[in-house]
């Protein structure tokens, strides 16, 4: 049951859930701007810094996987 949930239902439902969250957040932000209500500080994230931090974390994880793995990480075991 859990295996079917994780391998079938979640990959199908996750894009729709992410999209619904984005639509809700966009409408919430537009509504706040239209009414003149101030946006909280977390509503305007620093996208440049977040993307840079994400790219650095990906690079660090790939470098760590290369040097900490047993053998070649590009060759599948089997």
pLDDT computed for residue 68 by the predictor: 81
Nearest to 42 by CA among 59, 62, 28, 56: 28
pLDDT computed for residue 17 by the predictor: 95
pLDDT computed for residue 4 by the predictor: 86
Residue by residue, pLDDT tens for the chain (78 residues) are 888 888 889 999 999 999 999 999 999 999 999 999 998 887 888 888 899 999 999 999 988 888 887 766 666 766
This prediction has a pTM of 0.55
The dihedral built from the CA positions of residue 52, 20, 5 and 78, taken in this order, carries a sign that is negative
**Every domain of the chain and the residues it spans:** 1-43, 45-78
């Amino acid at each position: 049951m859990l295996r079917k949930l994780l391998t079938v239902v979640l990959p199908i439902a996750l894009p729709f859930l992410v999209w619904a969250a984005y639509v809700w957040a966009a409408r919430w932000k537009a509504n706040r701007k239209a009414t003149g209500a101030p946006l909280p500080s977390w509503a305007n994230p620093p996208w440049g810094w977040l993307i840079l931090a994400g790219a650095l974390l990906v690079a660090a994880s790939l470098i760590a996987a290369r040097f900490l793995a047993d053998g070649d990480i590009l060759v599948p075991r089997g």
